[in-house]
Amino acid sequence: MLAGILLDGGIKLELSNPKETPYLTMTQKWFEKVGVECSISDDFKKIEVKQNKNLKAFTTTIPSDWEGVVFPLVAGLLSESGSKITIENIDGSGTQGDDAIVKILQSVGGRIVWDKEKFTITVEPSRLTTENLPDKTLRVKMSPFPDAICALAVAACFTEGTTILEDAAVCRRKETDRIKVLKIELSKLGAEVEEKEDALIIHGHAPFLANGGKNPEFVLHGGLCESYMDHRMAMSLACLGIGLPKGESVIVKDAECCSVSFPKFFEVMRGIGCSFEELDVISMNL
């Protein structure tokens, strides 16, 4: 789409099975701001970008990345500290499909308040459960925001009930095959995970029962995990460590890869009560 701006006659694209469609819409909206003509069919299968070689420089503010927001958001839900966390500079423009993460987590009991006027999200530790959902199952169609699968899979491990992250085949073509490696790494830590060609099914348990007592079925524990040099895997596995019982920790190999999209990840996580130690690996626990 970007290349079409400078091509003689522009460009026409035909997609057979479009995924991650919110990003196509986001690109179109940016084109509109700078005067580039772009049309996208309702089914996202046909895209046309008109040539425009007269673009002018402009000054703007790039909205915060929702895929960065999701990690402190999940960490805030899983923390046993009882403290509220406020995340600032939240993009409420609606141009990022990933903002659906808020409603997804709220649907399983996540205590999250999004103040769109103040551009903040406040989150506090929550008992997550699918009991109020149809069939007591959380179903999330991942194709609009596949980069969230790692963080949502971790949250699902702490959610009482079954979570199905479906329409997720595109997640196999990221920095690594995220469906496959999530199955491997989460299973190492005691999670009950099923891998399907197009989905990840997680049978999770909340650390505490509805009456506040400890849940005997919660068996997640620490361990040594591979990041596969995938920044989202590294950050998600680090977040999992936050929800483990005291004395348990997750060790993430090659965790420095998180700097690809979140250069100050560990500094931010330390600021919300996490501790980590740099060895040959990064160990994180609360």
d(CA 149, CA 132): 22
163 neighbors 130 (Cβ within 8 angstroms): yes
d(CA 218, CA 206): 6
Write out the two tokens for 252. 């993430």
What is the b/e burial string over 20-58, where b = at least 16 CB atoms within 10 angstroms of the residue's CB? Answer: bbbbbbbbbeebeeeebebebeeebeebbbeebeeeeee
Write out the two tokens for 56. 């002018």
85 neighbors 272 (Cβ within 8 angstroms): yes
Q: In what order do the strands lie in the sheet with 111-115?
A: 85-87, 120-124, 111-115
Q: Is 91 a catalytic residue?
A: no
Closest CA to 73 of 26, 106, 116: 106
The single-letter DSSP state of residue 230 is -
Strands 250-252 and 223-225: parallel
Write out the two tokens for 52. 């425009």
Write out the two tokens for 50. 């008109």
Find the catalytic residue in 91, 98, 99, 147. Answer: 147
The single residue listed with the structure tokens 């361990």 is 223
What is the b/e burial string over 96-114, where b = at least 16 CB atoms within 10 angstroms of the residue's CB? Answer: bbbbbbbebbeebbbbbeb
Catalytic positions, written as ranges: 147
